[in-house]
Structure 1
Amino acid sequence: MNIGVIKETKTDETRVALQPFQVKVLIANGHKIYVENNAGVLAGFPDDEYVVNGAEIKDKKYILDKCKLILKIKAPLDNEYNDYTKDHIIFTYLHFDENILPDKIRELIKSGFMGIAYEWVEESGRYPLLEPMSKLTGYLFAQKAVEFCTKYKGIICGKHEDYLKGANVLIIGLGTIGLSSLKFCMDNNLKISVLDKNLATVNIRINERFKTNKIDYIEKYSIELISFNNSDPLKTKAELEKTINKYDIILNCAVRRPDMPKDKLEYLIDRQMIQTMEPYSVICDTTACDNDLIETCVSSEEVDKIDIINDVVHYSCDHLPSIVGKSATELLTSQTFPFILEIANKGISEAVKSNKALYRGVVCYKNKITHRYIAEKKGFQFYKLSDLV
């Protein structure tokens, strides 16, 4: 199979979809690899490393004309919508379920390519191509929040010695992202509060994630626990409204689930609540969902862009792992590569038929949406992939 690696053009994106040593493995399996000029340079992989391992360096047009399987990191930008044809397979993050408008999805998929979304490849209820970037996202958002709090609010955030007050941080949601943010805050001696809907399992989840045995993290780090009332979310919001002004940093690490529609909870934190926070406190939506659980948070593709709204620092970069391009590339491609190799060796039809994880990751094909959740959320008709392949 002819496989192409495209250079990312999204602002501040530094990652690349294939490492040089992986090129050598693919070539040993009988495939040809074409890499766009300087596709990996910002991740620490110059062109000559790809060439040494057997790849050919070509321009984007050549690669799109020559290759069937196109490897990327981020969804195509508006000016790239016409790059792809019905003969292409695009393997990348697509995030059709998030901020992109339905009309944009229609425009992108109109050529009929097969889109396999990293974020929807699912194995036994886990998302192995999403998890490594989610883990990095949690650490990096906590790190950036501390930097902004230090810079704009003028406080040292860690209570490293008794005479230091330290910063108060609220972490909303202890999923993959939230646990990374929690670990960063514990390691840096911040004063931590956690808002979560399953408080009874907090210690269990922390121990499982960090491979420790029965450590009582709640007691050890004096973590304040706040229950999210799933049946009465407005009650939780009212309680948070009373205490929100004590937090120097708020990290939202929760996503809106189907059982929490807007008419049940429009915002967990609304603009009026933001107005009660101390000046130059920091709020981040690590999920980069626009105006969702936090009314005033809007995502940005710029890794250092902040918005100061009602004197509160807002930060919501939508691809923060790109700030550590080499680490992110190494972590992500270690997980994507087995799937790439399987697609190349088996061919796409056999690969998606024999590998349920890959099958679940296919979100569009032949100008149709093949993922039920995306179809329902964005108002598309859902088509079974098995009827199209």
Structure 2
Amino acid sequence: MQIGVPKETKDQEFRVGLSPSSVRVLTEIGHGVSVETNAGNNAGFTDEEYRKAGAKIVNTPESIWNQEMVVKVKEPLITEYKFLQKGQLLFTYLHLAADRKLTEQLIDCGTNAIAYETVEQPGANRLPLLTPMSIIAGRLAVQFGARFLERQQGGRGVLLGGVPGVKPGKVVILGGGVVGTEAAKIALGMRATVQILDVNVERLSYLETLFGSRVELLYSNSAHIETVVKEADLLIGAVLIPGRKAPILVSRQLVKQMHPGSVLVDVAVDQGGCVETLHPTSHTNPVYIEEGVVHYGVPNMPGAVPWTSTQALNNSTLPYVVQLANLGIKALDVNPALAKGLNVQNHRLVHPAVQGVFPDLVN
């Protein structure tokens, strides 16, 4: 199979779909890989490394998108819609529930679109291609939150860890999944006070075995959310419903009651976000202030650490890429986890969760 790896076009998205080591695996088993010029530079991978791995370096995105399969990191932007082709395999993060325009475009052009975030292994919410980026995003959420709590960045001037004689900052995490768990680890490492809210009692029990009494664990309901959000210095949204838009858990009215200069980081922003006042931002302009609260809504947070995140992502995606390269669309027939990743096929919206968001697009 001929595989294309484009340079990402999203604002300051420095990750790349395939690393040189992944390219080498593919070329050694007989597949052709074309990589756009400088696609991996900002992740620390040079064109020469890709050449040594067996890739062909091409200068134009058109050449990349003419391949049988395109492997990338983030969803195609409007400027890339013209490259989408009927029957082509597209393997990337899509988050279609929050992007009607892209959903319509994929249906119209007939691309076979497989989303990393909906590939699902047997078991409760086992999302192998979302997990590595969720780990990174969860850790970065606290790192960025701590930064924007600084007064010079618009925050209220709270040091999360406090100092002897001054209480630490309070971190409230909505959701105890992978993102929430990783965020808690970093917040605890900074010596902050940490609270996690989740609707899954079994998950809360697991988190108790992990953190013991160092983290306050609460069942997530409107009363508890209202109580803890008001006192948060850093609020992290870590809610995920695979394939669906995130529910709004924090209303504008509740945001108004937060401390002026407190910080809100919503990792679920690429699925619509769980805070009413939050909208997507970018690495170039990551924050804005609304209702006196600093809002951080960058949807591609792991793009800030591309050397780490590209390799972490490839560790998980490569086996699926190899299977798609070997078998094409027939790989979905032999791999049920990969089949669950299929969102659009032959001009049809096929993923049940996304169908629930856009029932008028189902035919």
TM-score by length of 2: 0.91
Give the whole-Å Cα distance in 1 for the aligned partners of 2:243 and 2:82. 33
Does residue 112 (structure 1) correspond to residue 145 (structure 2)? The answer is no
> Does structure 1 residue 312 correspond to structure 2 residue 283?
no
Structure 1 residues 340-389: Cα deviation after superposition (integer angstroms, max 9, x where no partner): 1111122332x111111111111111111121111122114557xxxxxx
The whole-number CA distance in structure 1 between the counterparts of 2:299 and 2:71 is 20
Q: Counterparts of 1:122 and 1:39 in 2: how far apart (Å)?
A: 28
Work out the CA distance in 2 between the residues paired with 1:258 and 1:100: 11
In structure 1, the partner of 2:65 is: 64
- Map 1:143-222 onto structure 2 (within 5 A): 143-151=143-151, 152-159=155-162, 161-199=163-201, 201-205=203-207, 207=209, 217-219=211-213, 221=214
- Name the CA distance, whole Å, in 2 between partners of 1:291 and 1:120: 16
CA spacing shift, 1:242–1:117, aligned 2, 3 Å: closer
Question: Residue 375 of structure 1 aligns to which amino acid in structure 2?
Answer: Q
Q: Which amino acid aligns with 2:279?
A: V
Contact 2:236 2:267 in 1 (8 A): yes
Residue 298 of structure 1: aligned partner: 279
Kindly report the root-mean-square deviation, in angstroms, between the aligned alpha carbons of the 2 structures.
2.3
TM-score (norm 1): 0.85
Q: Distance in 1 between matches of 2:186 and 2:205?
A: 16
5+ long unaligned stretches in structure 2: none
SS of the counterpart of 1:348? helix
Rg (Cα) greater in structure: 1
Q: Which amino acid aligns with 1:24?
A: R
Gap change, CA 1:40 and 1:116, over 3 Å in 2? same
TM superposition shift of 1:293: 3.0
What SS does the corresponding residue of 1:294 show, helix, strand or coil? coil
Equivalent pair of 1:86/1:111 in contact (CA under 8 Å): yes
Deviation at 1:310, TM superposition (A): 1.5
- Is 2:302 the partner of 1:326? no
- Equivalent residue for 1:377? 357
In the alignment, what sits opposite 2:230? 245
Aligned to 2:2: 2
**Deviation of 1:154 (Å):** 1.4
Equivalent pair of 2:158/2:233 in contact (CA under 8 Å): no
In structure 2, give the amino acid aligned to 1:286: V
Give the Cα–Cα distance (whole angstroms) in 1 for the partners of residues 131 and 361 of structure 2: 29
Superposed CA deviations along residues 294-339 of structure 1, whole A, max 9, x for unmatched, are 1111122336511101211111110100000010000001111111
Q: Which amino acid aligns with 1:226?
A: L
Q: Unaligned stretches of 5+ in structure 1?
A: 208-214, 229-235, 384-389
Task: Name the CA shift for 1:348/1:2 in 2 (closer, same or farther; >3 Å).
Answer: same
1:254 to 211, 236, 239: 239
- TM-superposition CA deviations, 1:50-74 (whole Å, max 9, x none): 0111111012222223x10111111
1:339 matches 2:340: no
The one-letter code matched in structure 2 to 1:190 is A
Offset at residue 255 of structure 1 (A): 3.4
Q: How has the CA–CA distance of structure 1 residues 257 and 31 changed in structure 2, closer, same or farther, with 3 Å as cutoff?
A: closer
